[in-house]
Amino acid sequence: MITTHKSDLEGTSRDASGPGWTSLRLLVKSDGMGFSMTETRVLPGAVLTLEYKNHVEACYCIGGAGTVTELDSGAVHHITPGVLYAPNAHDRHEVRNDGTEPFHLICVFSPALQGDEVHGPDGSYASS
């Protein structure tokens, strides 16, 4: 059984951030679950261009709001609390927060993240 409190992870290598985002890695590869889970915040004004070439991801919004744009098709999805989005085909996408509060997500990645990754120049994480 794995139990942890997020306060035990804050300020450690599992507390990752980059321009416009923070991500607390609640479960990582070394936990042996086969997937990772993060508590992620996209900060107000942030626009993130992402393409997870080595992972699939599912994100569930628990606070704030934002948009996710599929860059190949131009389809725009409005994400609010209770909405899940999953770029299941390694979709190149843009996550935007035009609001005044963080866009708060719980995200699951497969394969699992190591825990200290940050996005590369192409918006992806390196393979785990």
pLDDT digits (tens, 9 = 90+) for 81-91: 999 999 988 88
**Six-digit token pair at 97?**
């927060």
- CA gap 100, 86 in Å, rounded: 24
The residues, ordered by sequence, that sit 6+ positions from 12 with a Cβ below 8 Å of its Cβ are: none
Q: Which domains does the chain have, with CATH numbers?
A: 20-110 (2.60.120.10)
Q: Percentage helix, strand, coil, to 5, in the chain?
A: 5, 40, 55
Average pLDDT over residues 38-52: 95
- pLDDT beyond 90 at 123: no
pLDDT (tens digit, 9 = 90+) per residue, 61-110? 999 999 999 999 999 999 999 999 999 888 899 999 999 999 999 999 99
pTM higher than 0.85, yes or no? yes
pLDDT of residue 1: 96
